[in-house]
Structure 1
Amino acid sequence: MVKIVIDAGHGLDTPGKRSPDDEREWSFNNKVALAAIAKLQTYQNVEILRVDDPTGKTDVPLQTRTTLANNWQADVYASIHHNALNGKWGKHSGVETYTMDNPTANPKSIEIAGAIHPRVVMAMGISDRGMKRANFHVLREATMPAFLTEGGFMDSAVDITKLRDDNYLKAQGEAIAEGLAVYFKLQPKPSPNRNPDEKLSIPQPEGEDQFYRPSLQTIVNSTIDVLIRLENQEEGALSPTWRKKLADGTLTNSDAIGILYVALDRGLLGDGK
Structure 2
Amino acid sequence: MVKIVLDAGHGLNTPGKRSPDGEREWCFNNEVINACTEKLATYENVQVMRVDDPTGKTDVSLRKRTDLANRWNADIYVAVHHNANTGKWGSWTGVETYVMDSPTVGSTSLKLARLVGPQIAKAMGLKDRGVKRANFHVLRETKMPAILTEGGFMDSLIDIKALRSKEKLKKQGETLAEVLAVYLKLQPKLEKKFI
Determine if the TM-score, normalized by the shorter chain, exceeds 0.5: yes
Report the counterpart of residue 81 of structure 2 in structure 1. 81
Task: Write the mapping of 1:74-223 to structure 2, written as runs, cut at 5 A.
Answer: 74-100=74-100, 106-193=106-193
Distance 1:48 1:126 in 2: 27
- What RMSD over aligned residues (CA atoms) do the two structures have, in Å? 1.3
Check 1:43–1:102 CA distance in 2 against 1; reply closer, same or farther (3 A cut): closer
Q: Is the 2:101–2:110 contact (alpha carbons within 8 Å) kept by the matching residues of 1?
A: no
Report the counterpart of residue 12 of structure 2 in structure 1. 12
Higher strand share: 2
Q: Is the 2:104–2:143 contact (alpha carbons within 8 Å) kept by the matching residues of 1?
A: no
Distance 2:69 2:194 in 1: 36
User: Which SS does the other structure have where 1:130 is aligned?
Assistant: strand
- Give 1:192 deviation, angstroms: 2.4
User: Which SS does the other structure have where 1:169 is aligned?
Assistant: helix
1:61 and 2:61 are equivalent in the alignment: yes
Check 1:89–1:101 CA distance in 2 against 1; reply closer, same or farther (3 A cut): farther
Distance 2:103 2:73 in 1: 22
- Give 1:64 deviation, angstroms: 0.1
> Could you state the TM-score of these two structures normalised by the residue count of structure 2?
0.97
Distance 1:7 1:147 in 2: 10
Structure number with bigger Rg: 1
- Give 1:107 deviation, angstroms: 1.1
**Count of paired positions:** 195
> Could you state the TM-score of these two structures normalised by the residue count of structure 1?
0.69
Task: Write the mapping of 1:18-37 to structure 2, written as runs, cut at 5 A.
Answer: 18-37=18-37
Check 1:108–1:12 CA distance in 2 against 1; reply closer, same or farther (3 A cut): same
Which amino acid in 1 is paired with 2:18? R
- Give 1:101 deviation, angstroms: 5.9
Higher helix share: 1
Greater relative CO (CA pairs within 8 A, separation 6+) = 2
Distance 2:169 2:106 in 1: 28
